[in-house]
């Protein structure tokens, strides 16, 4: 029972962080049909930025977080404006290649600035163990779950209530109609990239707090794929539920069956899903027709 | 029936009868194909102006030029609303922001959103809340939202779609979707409303409803309406003026009666089989 609780909480932590990273991916796909292979690098950059703010510049983590998010917004908008906007109207595969190139570029920039060695990271969120129903869990994991859940809630509210949120959903649904409603589609694309960078940066900061920073954090980007395919590429609730399911499955597999297998499991699930729904990744048209 | 809009539905700054939209020598080509060839139109505030013509005559192309989805090679489109605006090279969202609202021939609703959210998206430009206020949803944003919702509710009431306000659009029958699309265009608080075949594919009863809504919007609230429609009965019934396009050129313009009796129209556009239809008596209800 204790192990189960422990694993559940670990799984929820990873799941919530995955959901945040996946949310950005879904946002971009929903709004502009672009599959962003650089989502993991957004997370990586978020992690290194908070590392730079807290460790290298010695700022308080709240201030560091605010600056990190501001830089993330700027990065998202710039990438959309300078790299993705010229690609509008180009074939899907070209756009995908561009985001793959972008991911290499961002990773190279990060290793140029911060090097390739993993850096230990004095946790900025309290880490002392907390007893929950007999299970011992680091407080930082509870914080991570709390912050991630709060962010997901805020994003949800943003989409259902705010002017920009409604406009984003409208653009995702029908660009021509959105234009005729006075919604600037290019403006909304910029919003999508900025929000994707922000949600990934928050996920990155949460991961960094728990495991430190290192180039391998960008692998989170790969783990986003099983999540979004499980949840549906263009579904925001799907990203959240998918993230939590994958996070829990990883934790349970690692705890009950063995470490190592938990790294593979999400991809086994991915393959199974693709076998049942072969049109998974690029099958938007087919899904639409159903 | 007592209806009152808590805020103005018609956003035009003009008085009825003043020149509102002026299309001058419009020419539009797609590669070697000429869609519009020197089209001139003058539309005045408060009228229902119908554009008719056979399939491929360029009616929708003309509407798309006005709303900025197409850019003509020659000619210009002037729109009067707090001064003169040249729409010719503006982008669609900029034109919409001036108060040019439209519906589409093939419904272009936000299919995965509810009726209410579609209307909210239509009214998007009137929402002033910034990101921060939205995130902290109470306070200003809340008050604005309430006032805003009242306007939306007025539209819902006008179009009699109360029962479906929280339904996802994709689940609605075709006729209702058409009505929701009209509502979404109204939510923009139009100065001029472009309707591309609002009654296409409807049964008689649905057409009558739609005609009534269009007349309401025009007569009670004074919104100028530019209408493309194939149903001659409806066009002749509700329009103040009619322009006829054929192969991208305007071949006639005038009151329904003038157009109906114009031999050019009967010959070039309607052909023999429709001549009988045109001579049917119509009454302005």
Q: How many domains does chain B have?
A: 1
Beta A135-138 vs B192-196: how paired, if at all?
unpaired
The Cα–Cα gap between B78 and B18 comes to: 13
Query: Nearest-CA distance from A171 to chain B in Å?
Result: 8
Q: Kindly list the strands in the beta sheet with B84-86, ordered across the sheet, starting from the edge strand earlier in the chain.
A: B33-44, B19-30, B74-80, B84-86
pLDDT at B283 (0 to 100): 46
Q: Is residue B4 assigned to a domain?
A: no
Looking up tokens 């000619």, which residue turns up? Answer: B75
- What is the reported pLDDT for B21? 96
Q: Does residue B158 belong to any structural domain of this protein?
A: no
Q: Do β-strands B19-30 and B74-80 pair in parallel, antiparallel, or remain unpaired?
A: antiparallel
Whole-number pLDDT of residue A175? 87
- How many CA within 13 A on the CB side of residue A199? 34
Residue A158: closest C-alpha in chain B: B135
Helix (H) or strand (E) holding B101: strand B100-102
Spatial contact of A167 and A183, defined as CB atoms under 8 Å apart: yes
**With an 8 Å Cβ cutoff, are B110 and A184 in contact?**
no
Q: Select from B145, B138, B133, B135 the least CA-distant residue to A150.
A: B135
Distance CA A90, CA A85 (A): 10
Mean pLDDT of successive 10-residue segments in chain B (285 residues)? 62 90 94 91 95 89 94 94 93 94 93 91 78 56 72 92 93 93 95 94 92 94 94 91 92 91 76 56 46
A204 touches A20 (CB < 8 A):
no
Among candidate residues A20, A9, A2, the one with its CA nearest the CA of residue A251: A9
Distance from CA of A175 to the nearest CA of B (A): 9
Q: Contact A178/A167 with Cβ under 8 angstroms?
A: yes
Domain that holds residue B262: 19-110+189-278
What pLDDT is stored for residue B128 in this prediction?
66
Q: From A157, which residue of chain B is nearest by alpha-carbon distance? A: B135
User: Cβ contact (<8 Å) for A164 and B131?
Assistant: yes
User: Would residue B283 count as lying in a domain?
Assistant: no
**Given pLDDT bands bounded at 50, 70 and 90, which one contains residue A80?**
very high
- A181, B121 in Cβ contact below 8 A? yes
Residues 6 or more apart whose CB falls under 8 angstroms from that of A31 comprise: A168, A171, A172, A188, A189, A191, A192
Contact status, residue A243 vs residue A19, Cβ threshold 8 Å = yes
Write down the pLDDT at residue A261: 81
pLDDT at residue A290 tops 50: no
Distance from CA of B263 to the nearest CA of A (A): 37
Element (H, E) at B120: helix B115-122
What ipTM was reported for this prediction? 0.82
Q: d(Cα B130, Cα A198) in Å, to the nearest integer?
A: 17
Structure-derived torsion over alpha carbons of residues B159, B160, B163, B169, reported in degrees to the nearest 10: -20
Question: Hey, what are A256's tokens?
Answer: 């009950």
Question: CB–CB of A181 and B91 under 8 A?
Answer: no
Cα B282 to Cα A203, B214, B236, distances in angstroms: 67, 18, 7
In a domain, B102, yes or no: yes
DSSP type of residue B51: E
Q: Which helix (H) or strand (E) holds A94?
A: helix A92-114
Query: Does the pLDDT value for residue A135 go beyond 50?
Result: yes
DSSP per-residue string spanning A55-106? IIS---HHHHHHHHHHHHHHHHHHHIIIIIGGGTTS-HHHHHHHHHHHHHHH
pLDDT of residue B7: 61
Which pairing describes strands B192-196 and B100-102: parallel, antiparallel, or unpaired?
Answer: parallel
What distance in Å separates the CA atoms of residue B147 and residue A280, rounded to the nearest whole number?
Answer: 43
Contact A50, A61 (CB under 8 A): yes
Highest-confidence segment of A99-108, A208-217, A264-273, B276-285: A99-108
Asked if B134's CB is within 8 angstroms of A164's CB, the reply is: yes
Tokens, residue B151: 């306007």
Whether B211 is in a domain gets the answer yes
Helix (H) or strand (E) holding B175: helix B174-187
Residue A179 to residue B92, Cβ atoms within 8 A: yes
Position B98 in a domain: yes
Examine residue B115 and state whether it is found in any structural domain, yes or no: no
**CA–CA dist B134, B125 (Å, integer):** 15
More confident position, B275 or A15: A15
- CB–CB of A163 and B108 under 8 A? no
Please report, to the nearest 10 degrees, the dihedral formed by the alpha carbons of residues B202, B205, B210, B215 taken in order: 140
pTM, rounded to two decimals: 0.82
The confidence score (pLDDT) of residue B279 equals: 56
User: In whole angstroms, how far apart are CA A58 and each of A51, A53, A65?
Assistant: 9, 6, 12
Q: What is the pLDDT of residue B51?
A: 95
Looking up residue B225, the CATH number of its domain turns out to be 3.40.50.300
- Assess if residue B245 is contained within a domain: yes
Give the pLDDT confidence score for residue A124 in this predicted structure.
73
CB proximity list for B94: less than 8 A, separation 6 or greater: A182, B68
Cβ pairs A/B, distance under 8 A: 97
Distance between B268 CA and the closest CA of chain A, angstroms = 33
Supply A263's token pair.
């790294």
Question: For A258-273, what is the mean pLDDT?
Answer: 79
In this structure, the strands spanning B48-52 and B74-80 are unpaired
pLDDT in tens, B49-104: 999 988 888 999 999 999 999 999 999 999 999 999 999 999 999 999 999 999 99
Element housing B193 (H / E): strand B192-196
Query: How much is the pLDDT for B269?
Result: 63
């Amino acid at each position: 029972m204790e192990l189960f609780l422990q694993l559940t909480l670990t799984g929820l932590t990873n799941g919530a962080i995955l959901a945040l990273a996946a949310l950005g991916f879904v946002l971009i796909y929903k709004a502009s049909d672009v599959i962003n292979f650089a989502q993991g690098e957004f997370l990586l950059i978020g992690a290194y930025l908070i590392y730079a703010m807290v460790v290298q510049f010695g700022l308080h983590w709240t201030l560091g977080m605010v600056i990190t998010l501001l830089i993330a917004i700027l990065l998202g908008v710039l990438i959309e404006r300078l790299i993705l906007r010229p690609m509008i109207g180009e074939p899907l595969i070209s756009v995908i290649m561009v985001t793959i190139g972008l991911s290499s570029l961002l990773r190279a920039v990060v290793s140029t600035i911060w090097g390739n060695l993993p850096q230990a990271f004095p946790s900025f969120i309290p880490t002392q163990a907390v007893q929950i129903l007999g299970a011992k869990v680091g407080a930082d994991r509870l914080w991570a779950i709390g912050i991630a859940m709060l962010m997901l809630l805020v994003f949800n509210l943003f989409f259902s209530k705010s002017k920009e949120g409604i406009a984003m959903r409208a653009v995702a649904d029908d660009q021509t109609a959105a234009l005729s409603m006075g919604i600037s589609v290019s403006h909304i694309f910029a919003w999508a990239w900025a929000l994707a960078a922000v949600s990934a940066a928050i996920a990155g900061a949460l991961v960094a707090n728990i495991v430190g920073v290192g180039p391998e954090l960008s692998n989170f980007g790969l783990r986003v794929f099983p999540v979004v395919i499980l949840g549906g590429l263009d579904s925001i609730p799907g990203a959240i539920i998918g993230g939590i399911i994958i996070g829990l499955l990883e934790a349970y597999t690692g705890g009950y069956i063995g470490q190592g297998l938990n790294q593979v499991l999400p991809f086994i699930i991915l393959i199974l899903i693709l076998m049942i729904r072969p049109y998974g990744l690029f099958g938007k048209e087919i899904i639409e027709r159903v | 029936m007592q209806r009152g809009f808590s805020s103005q539905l018609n956003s035009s700054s003009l008085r009825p009868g003043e020149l509102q939209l002026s299309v001058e020598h419009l020419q539009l080509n797609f590669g070697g194909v000429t869609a519009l060839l020197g089209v001139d139109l003058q539309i005045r505030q408060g009228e229902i102006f119908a554009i008719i013509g056979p399939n491929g005559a360029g009616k929708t192309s003309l509407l798309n030029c006005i709303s900025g989805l197409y850019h003509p090679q020659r000619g210009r489109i002037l729109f009067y609303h707090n001064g003169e605006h040249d729409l010719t090279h503006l982008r669609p969202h900029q034109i919409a922001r001036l108060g040019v609202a439209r519906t589409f021939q093939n419904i272009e609703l936000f299919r995965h959103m509810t009726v209410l959210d579609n209307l909210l998206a239509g009214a998007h430009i009137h929402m002033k809340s910034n990101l921060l206020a939205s995130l902290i949803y109470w306070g200003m944003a809340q008050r604005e939202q309430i006032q805003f919702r009242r306007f939306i509710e007025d539209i819902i009431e006008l179009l009699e779609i109360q029962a479906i306000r929280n339904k996802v659009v994709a689940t609605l029958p075709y006729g209702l979707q058409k009505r929701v699309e009209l509502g979404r265009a109204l939510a923009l608080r139009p100065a001029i409303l472009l309707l591309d075949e609002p009654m296409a594919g409807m049964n008689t009863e649905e057409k009558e409803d739609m005609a009534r809504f269009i007349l309401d919007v025009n007569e009670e609230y004074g919104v100028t309406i530019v209408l493309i429609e194939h149903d001659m009965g409806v066009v002749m019934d509700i329009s103040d003026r009619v322009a006829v396009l054929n192969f991208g050129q305007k071949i006639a313009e005038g009151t329904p009666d003038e157009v109906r009796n114009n031999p050019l129209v009967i010959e070039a556009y309607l052909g023999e089989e429709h001549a009988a239809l045109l001579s049917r008596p119509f009454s302005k209800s």
